[in-house]
Amino acid sequence: MSIINDEQIALLQDIVDLVEDDWESIGLNVEIDEVDGDLVISPSCYYSIGDKRNRFKLSADVCDSLESLRSTHKSVNKDNTAWTICDIKIADDGNYSYEFSYNTPPRISKLRST
Structure confidence at residue 8 as a pLDDT band (50, 70, 90): very high
Model confidence over 10-63: pLDDT tens digits?
999 999 999 988 999 999 999 999 988 899 999 999 999 999 999 999 999 999
Is 61 domain-assigned? yes
Contact 63, 40 (CB under 8 A): no
Is 23 domain-assigned? yes
Report the alpha-carbon distance of residue 109 to residue 100 in Å, rounded: 17
3 state DSSP class of 58: coil
Q: Give the CA dihedral 44, 54, 69, 64, nearest 10 degrees.
A: 90
CATH number at residue 41: 3.30.500.20
3 state DSSP class of 114: coil
Which pLDDT value is given to residue 15?
Answer: 97
Model confidence over 57-83: pLDDT tens digits?
999 999 999 999 999 999 988 888 999
Q: 14: how many CB neighbours lie within 10 A of its CB?
A: 16
Is 108 domain-assigned? no
Q: Which domain holds residue 86?
A: 3-103
